[in-house]
Amino acid sequence: MAEPSTEDLAPPPSLFKLGGVLFWIGVFSFGGGLSGWIHRQVVHRYRWMTNEDFLSGIALAQILPGANVTNLCVYVGYRIRGSWGATMSLFALMSGPTVLCVLVAIGYHYVQDYPVLHACVDGVAAAAVGLNLRLGVVGTQRIYRMHRVAPMIAMVATFVAVGVMEWPLVPVVLIIAPLSVAAVWPRKGGAAHA
């Protein structure tokens, strides 16, 4: 699927349309995978943002305090429709699941012993992992196409430190993020070639 360039972007949607898209993402998302689904809708289906802009939002959402998906949602809404877009996006994403969680908590007591419920939850969780893996592949392909060594090293170092060696995320990010930014920061006399 072709990535939209800045010239190919669709005009900004109405607040109602933006809220509707994020509302249904929130209602039908189980066990994570929201970032991948938001990416598919906002970048590929509706072409409201470029892939590059979205990936910048992912990076920002992950380093800010709070839940990554809510941070991303605020970023996406703000980039598309400003402050009102950020407000609408967050409200739309959270309102459906909040009501559903209350209803499910009330009803879970009556269905917790049925094996089919556990099978459904396992299947949805597997799909969420797949969406997250897809988003990771998209980010890796972008770095690879740019022939940038420093971001690739930062990505591999973060994966090894957190995923393999199981070091705490915060110290790893506090060390690797500034080094990564410094490696690609434009230098006097031209852009960085890291």
Q: Is residue 115 part of a domain?
A: yes
3-state secondary structure of 193: coil
3-state secondary structure of 95: helix
Judgement on whether residues 133 and 153 belong to the same structural domain of the protein: no
Tens digits of residue pLDDT in 102-148: 988 888 778 778 888 888 878 878 887 887 788 778 877 877 777 77
Residue 184 lies in a domain: yes
The answer to whether residue 1 sits within a structural domain is no
Residue 114 and residue 86 share a domain: yes
Residue that has been written with the tokens 């559903």 in this structure: 100
- Give the integer Cα–Cα distance in Å for 161 and 167: 6
Domain boundary among 130, 146, 162: 146
User: Is 65 found in the same domain as 36?
Assistant: yes
Match 């802009």 to its residue by tokens: 53
Total number of domains constituting the chain: 2
Check whether residue 38 and residue 106 sit in a common domain: yes
* Residues 160 and 86 grouped into a single domain: no
Give the domain range for residue 66: 6-146
Taking a C-beta distance cutoff of 8 angstroms, is the pair 94, 64 a contact? no
What residues contact 88, with CB distance under 8 A and at least 6 apart? 15, 18, 19, 22, 77, 81
Say what the alpha-carbon torsion angle 134, 34, 13, 139 is, to the nearest 10 degrees: -30
| Secondary structure of residue 5 in the 3-state scheme | coil
Does residue 12 lie in a domain region?
yes
Give tens-digit pLDDT for 2-58.
Answer: 666 777 899 999 999 999 999 999 988 765 678 888 999 999 999 999 998 999 999
Counting Cα atoms < 13 Å in the Cβ hemisphere of 185 gives 9
Assess whether 77 and 118 both reside in one domain: yes
